[in-house]
Amino acid sequence: MSETTAIPPQALTAKDFSTDQEVRWCPGCGDYSILAQVQKIMPTLGIPRENFVIISGIGCSSRFPYYMNTYGMHSIHGRATAIASGLKATRPELSVWIVTGDGDSLSIGGNHTIHLLRRNFDVNILLFNNQIYGLTKGQYSPTSEGGKVTKSTPFGSIDHPFNPLALAMGADASFVARSMDRDPKHLQQLLLRSHAHKGSSFLEIYQNCNIFNDGAFENFTEKSSKPLETLFVEHGKPLVFGARQEKGIRLEGFHPTVVELGNGINAEDCWIHDERDFYKAQILVRMFDDPRVEGHLPRPFGVLYETDRPCYDEMLNLQIEEVIAAKGKGDLDKLLRGNETWTILG
């Protein structure tokens, strides 16, 4: 933090979360919007600024801690999740936010990401997905689409890309959601939902890299295509989309299909979104990349799944308290010596 004076949480503003550092992202980068939305919502959370921590790995997104007037750490490639886990375990009162990218968290850091999710530390993961390696100048990433021509795949990528939310579901994440940099109001809502969740919140944010992968998500952001390409889900509401909300999603068995509303088909006849339905969430996160699905389906945005599950950091500290209550404080020297010692003679 560049300031040491404590400010009452209720008096904080977005400016209190800005630093004097020059923001060094390319002009037009989607990271600017994400930074602005985070700075807008944090003063509303009622948390002292000194209790926020931003931890990042390596990548364009990982410069985030420099621009947030909170405690933070620009750590090492793929290990932000591991460092954040240790911090939350020892300082459970802190609000810990992990800022990472598709390369940082799904390539070298993939193992750490899935284990944080399965353990369910009470932290917030913001995954900036631009489907490219931006910091290292345009190589394909774990989320780049098949056939992607980049500096490291001049004849097109032959890799099968990760679906980040499907990966999170497979790791038993307790909160899975998606938003985008060019929808500030929606992103603010999802950031607030992420914070409110007790456990590991996994928020994928589509972020445009206008230098090395410009327009990767323009179907979801442009006014001409957005109504038919995006599906904004809300708990308890039907899955409908279109410029006039004239289309809906129904399930035929386990397969989602698009229907035209009217002529006897009402919105209430469509799939009603239930954030707690684990099985339907599996379909929802795969809806756009399932080769078995016929026809064109929109991309879901919003909270796709949420459940309640014990948090590792709480269980760990409770266990420590119970052991101390039962046996008293431990003896570190005895622990290090262990049960087997040797005396070396001669």
Full set of structural domains in the chain with CATH: 9-221 (3.40.50.970)
Whole-number Å distance between alpha carbons of 251 and 290 = 14
pLDDT of 5 = 61
Residue 1: the pLDDT is: 55
* For residues 322-336, average pLDDT: 82
Which range among 144-158, 177-191, 249-263, 319-333 shows the weakest confidence by mean pLDDT?
319-333
Confidence of residue 2 (pLDDT cuts 50, 70, 90): very low
* pLDDT value for 293: 61
| Residue pLDDT, tens place only, 190-228 | 999 999 999 999 999 999 999 999 999 999 999 999 999
pLDDT in tens, 43-97: 999 999 999 999 999 999 999 999 999 999 999 999 999 999 999 999 999 999 9
CB 114 within 8 A of CB 197: no
Q: Is-contact 32 23, C-beta < 8 A? A: yes
Closest CA to 188 of 9, 300, 64, 39: 39
Can you tell me the distance from the alpha carbon of 275 to that of 280, in angstroms, rounded to the nearest whole number?
A: 9
Q: Mean pLDDT, the chain, as a whole number?
A: 93
Q: Is the pTM of this model over 0.85?
A: yes
Assess contact for 187 and 203: CB atoms under 8 A.
no
> Both tokens of residue 149?
């021509």
How far apart, in whole angstroms, are the C-alpha atoms of residue 117 and residue 124?
A: 10
How far is it, in rounded angstroms, from Cα 150 to Cα 29? 19
Write out pLDDT tens, residues 100-146: 999 999 999 999 999 999 999 999 999 999 999 999 999 999 999 99
Give pLDDT, residue 327: 83
Q: Which residue has the higher pLDDT, 297 or 333?
A: 297
* The pLDDT value given to residue 326: 87
Which DSSP string corresponds to 235-300?
TTSB-EESTTS-EEEEEETTEEEEEESBTTB-GGGSPBP-TT-HHHHHHHHHTTT-TT--S--PEE
* H or E stretch covering 191: helix 184-196
Dihedral, CA atoms, 72, 73, 79, 85, nearest 10 degrees?
A: -40
Predicted local confidence at residue 306, as pLDDT: 98
Grade residue 288 by pLDDT with cuts at 50, 70 and 90.
confident
Q: Look at residue 292 in the predicted model and tell me its pLDDT.
A: 61
| CB distance 208 to 26 below 8 Å | no
Average confidence (pLDDT) over 172-186: 98
- Assess whether pLDDT exceeds 70 at residue 291: no
Q: What is the pLDDT of residue 34?
A: 98
* pLDDT at 341 (0 to 100): 73
The residue-averaged pLDDT of 323-339 equals: 81
